[in-house]
Structures are given as structure tokens and as C-alpha cells.
Amino acid sequence: MEFALSEEQRMLQDSVCRYLENKCTLDVVRQAAADTVTQQSDVWQGISELGILGIIIPEELGGVGLGFLDAALVAEALGRAVAPVPYIGSSIMAPVALLSAGDERQKETWLPKIAAGETVFGVGVTEQIGRRETDGITCSDGKLNGKAMFVMDGNDADMLIIADDTGTLHIVDANASGVTRQNLKTIDKTRGVAEIVFDGAEAEPLPGSENDKEPLLKTIDTGRLMLAADSMGASDVMIEKAVAYAKERKQFNRVIGSFQAVKHMCAEMASELEPCRSLIWYAAHAVNEMPDEARLLACHAKAHLSEVGRFVAKTSTEVHGGMGFTDLLGLHYWFKRIGLDRQLLGAPELVREEAAQVQGW
């Protein structure tokens, strides 16, 4: 059996890539980073019209009803463009949480709005992965208290999905009384990550997550998978830019790409990254077709791409020499995207430990 993308999947990714090449230029990314605008209006409008925001939402709820492999292909395209849009949290993790644990009213209320781009959701699950300075989030009498760190797409969120200490997921109005939001300044200014403090904030639980951590785990796993795909796309571009630069930059009256050391650097980047593509495809395929394997594969994909992405980012910058640090080339936007992807939802060491636990080690 040939495991490859269908013609429709290739067309999907090509159409998203072409749109982003035209609309999400380096100047757009640069302006978004300068203004810390992670929901760039023109780009956001365009991907909404392409149906990307409802990619995993069933058709009867306003989406397009595609699978997680399709969603991963879109994430890779967005990573290639370092697109300043809230995709992973709002369009993937939030729908997964609602589909896995929400009741019919919650699904019918929020999923069509997510698919139409009318409502952006932030997702806060980091406290269930590893805490730093917080005491976690508690829920009492329908109200949340505590601090959520690194809330995905939290900067732009109209609504939030937050996990409390028991693993129960809650819907919270991001602008409600008792909710204080602070945009976190990470290295990647094209992605919105927030710190949110709850002080008696009204919360509505997702019933399917009460006394069952499976919806929380699936939400985390799909987020990790999309971060891996995002890093794949960003790493691809960094290799392309390194090869192109090596073909035109001259030293000692020769293009540097003719030097064996530079050839080896480019070849090693390509040989390290290319096998990651099939790993992501298989992990995304497993979410729909082999759910028992999905968690382990998502951990492998996230941890491995974190390491390979860092290697590619470092080596590509070295090929560019001093020019690799300039804003003129803008290489640092992809470098920083890969760096933040590595840390969000668990650094590789932590994710590998979880993979070991899944296997009973």
C-alpha cells in the first residue's frame, strides 16, 4: 500500500501556500511582529474564506469536516509563512476539546463561530503539563481561581478553554469579570501567548471532561502535533534559504555552495528533516484512524521535530554567516518560530518522558 497524500490533500496545501506567498509576505510578518498583532486582519480574512478555521469541524456544525492530516498540512504551510494568525489554539485545540467533551448546546453554539472566524478561542492547558511559578487553577461553585501560563492564542481570544487541577475543561469569557489577561513577550512576536489570572471568574464546564482526562490529553496531543507540523514548515524554509544563499554568496571568487563544508551542512539539514515529514503524516493519520497509537506518536513527533528544528535553525543561520542575524533577510522570524514551538506544550525532554510513561516504562 502506498502511503502518500491524496490529490485533494496536495491541492489543499498548495492553495494555502500560494495564498500565503501572496498575502503573508515578509513585510506583513515584520509589521505584525513590530505591532505584536497576532491576528493580522487581511491574512485572517483570507484563511477564513479558504475554510481553514473550520478544517476539523464537522460540516453540520459549519466546518469542512476534514481530518487531522489535512490540518497538519495547513499547519506546515502556516509555519512556512510564519503566519501571524491564531490557528493551533483556536482552530485545532479548542474544537478538539469541544468535540471531545462538550454537550450538544456547547458544540452548536461555539463550533460554527470558530469555523466562521467570528470567535477566537484561547486554550490554557499548560498547568497540566508542567508548572513553574503557579499553584494551579481551582474550580469552586462554577468559578475559577488561579493563573494559567502560556495560553495558546490567548492574546486575541474572545473566549477561553481552561483546564483546572482535576483536568476538567471549562469555557470562560476572556473579557468577563474576574479575568485579567497579560500578553506574554516571547521570542516569537508573531504568535499570541498570554498569562491569564482568574479571580472568581464564571466558568462553564465541558461535561465530558469531568472525571475523564481523555479530552484534555487529546487536546494537548493534537496541539503538539500541530506545533511539530509548524516547525516542519519553518525548517523547510530555512533550508531553502540557506541553499539559495549558498548559491549566490561568494568568497575567494567562488560561491560558498561549492565548498565541501557548506555542502555538508546543507545536506545534513535536509537528511535530518526529510524523515520527519512521514513521522508527522503518520502521527496525524493515527489521530483519526488509530487512536490507541495517537498519543505516543504525537509525543514522538513533537519531541523529534523540536530537536531537528533547532539543529536546522542553527545550521541555516551559520550558512548565512553574519547576514543570518540581520532583519533584512528576516531569517530570525523562522528561527524564533521554531524556538517557541519547541517549548510550547512541553519541551522535548518532558514530552519524551511522557512517551516513556505511555509505553509503561
What Rg do the C-alpha atoms of the chain give, in angstroms? 20
**Domain co-membership, 106 together with 139:** no
The pLDDT score that the predictor gives to residue 38 is 54
**Domain co-membership, 228 together with 345:** yes
Helices (H), the chain: 7-23, 26-35, 41-49, 68-80, 94-101, 104-116, 214-248, 260-289, 291-320, 331-343, 348-358
**Distance, CA of 58 to chain centre:** 21
Residue 177 identity: S
CATH of the domain at 107: 1.10.540.10
Structurally, the chain folds into a number of domains equal to 3
**Domain co-membership, 223 together with 187:** no
Q: The domain containing residue 159 runs over which residues?
A: 121-209
Instruction: Indicate the range of 156-160, 229-233, 262-266, 322-326 predicted with least confidence.
Output: 322-326
Residue 143 identity: K
Given its phi and psi angles, is residue 249 left (phi above 0), alpha (psi -120 to 50 degrees) or beta?
Answer: beta
**Domain co-membership, 184 together with 224:** no
**Has residue 2 been placed in a domain?**
no
**Has residue 335 been placed in a domain?**
yes
Percent of the chain at pLDDT exceeding 70 = 97
**Domain co-membership, 86 together with 128:** no
**Has residue 75 been placed in a domain?**
yes
**Domain co-membership, 242 together with 310:** yes
Q: How far apart are CA 250 and CA 345, in angstroms?
A: 42
CB 191 within 8 Å of CB 340: yes
**Domain co-membership, 165 together with 248:** no
Q: Is the pTM of this model over 0.85?
A: yes
Only one residue has cell 522570524, namely 333
> Residue 175: pLDDT above 90?
yes
**Domain co-membership, 265 together with 339:** yes
Q: How far apart are CA 317 and CA 77, in angstroms?
A: 21
The pLDDT score that the predictor gives to residue 249 is 87
**Domain co-membership, 272 together with 145:** no
| Cβ burial, residue 58 (10 Å; 0-12/13-18/19+) | middle
**Domain co-membership, 108 together with 137:** no
> Residue 183: pLDDT above 80?
yes
Provide the 8-state DSSP code for 256: G
CATH of the domain at 200: 2.40.110.10
CB 256 within 8 Å of CB 250: yes
pLDDT digits (tens, 9 = 90+) for 17-47: 999 999 999 999 998 888 755 555 678 888 9
| Residue from 237, 254, 243 nearest 337 by CA | 237
> Residue 265: pLDDT above 90?
yes
The sign of the torsion formed by the CA atoms of 142, 145, 146, 147 equals positive
**Has residue 1 been placed in a domain?**
no
> Residue 91: pLDDT above 60?
yes
CB 168 within 8 Å of CB 206: yes
**Domain co-membership, 201 together with 232:** no
Which residue, 209, 244, 269, sits at the end of a domain? 209
The pLDDT score that the predictor gives to residue 257 is 82
**Has residue 83 been placed in a domain?**
yes
Which residue, 116, 137, 160, sits at the end of a domain? 116
**Domain co-membership, 83 together with 163:** no
